[in-house]
Amino acid sequence: MHSSAIVTHGLRSQKIQGDPYLKVRLTSQIVAALGMRHVQEVMVLPMQQLTPMPNKPACLLGLTNRRGQVVWVVDLARMLGLRVLPANLQQHNTAIVQVGKMLLALAVHQVEEIVWLQPEVIQPAPGQVAPDLLPYLQGCWVQSQQVGLVLDIAAIAQSQILHGD
């Protein structure tokens, strides 16, 4: 109990600038940032809590129950045309995001940390971005000589892939 109070106090005393983002790995090489204003929680989802649904796009891994609500689990890297999560996983690392009343569990390779990005460090996407990724990209940022993708969670939630039949 005291440690969380110390952490909270420490964060308040620092002059943090910018907006908070959840830093995740879509693949072992590709880093992305998800705006914390949409992130509800991070959780590890055991495979036995996932119900696959037939006749849906491959990026929709299935449904899960989160506190009495049914939530789609989306392989985010696959949706963005980057790669596929391994089939032999026993669990998924997920970020639960909410846009309006819609909840989604975004399955990612790894959840890393919260980063603070100032708007001016977010640059336009480079010209060689994959076409599947472009509609969901707000921009990029460079950190420690690594380029990270800043994803638009609202665009992901409104995607035709999730709403089309």
SS (H, E, C) 16-33: CCCEEEEEEECCCCCEEE
The counts of H helices and E strands in the chain are 4, 10
Q: What is the pLDDT of residues 39-97, one digit of tens each?
A: 999 999 998 999 999 999 989 999 999 888 899 999 999 999 887 666 667 899 999 99
Helices assigned H by DSSP within the chain: 2-13, 76-79, 153-157, 160-163
What pLDDT is attached to residue 125? Answer: 77
Domain ranges of the chain: 20-163
What pLDDT is attached to residue 4? Answer: 31
What is the C-alpha to C-alpha distance for residues 124 and 106, in angstroms, rounded to an integer? 24
Question: What fold is seen in the domain 20-163?
Answer: OB fold (Dihydrolipoamide Acetyltransferase, E2P) (2.40.50)
What pLDDT is attached to residue 15? Answer: 57
34 or 135: which leads in pLDDT: 34
Please compute the mean of the pLDDT values over residues 126-138 and round it to a whole number. 82
Residue found under tokens 């800043």: 150
- Count the Cβ atoms, other than its own, within 10 Å of residue 83: 15
pLDDT band per the 50, 70, 90 thresholds, residue 144:
confident
Cα distance between the two ends of the chain: 48
Q: What is the pLDDT of residues 72-86, one digit of tens each?
A: 999 999 999 887 666
Mean of all residue pLDDT scores within the chain = 84
What pLDDT is attached to residue 3? Answer: 31
* pLDDT higher than 50, residue 143: yes
* pLDDT higher than 50, residue 7: no
CA 76, chain centre distance (Å): 7
Single out the residue of 125, 81, 96, 118 nearest to residue 24, CA to CA. 96
- Count the Cβ atoms, other than its own, within 10 Å of residue 76: 26
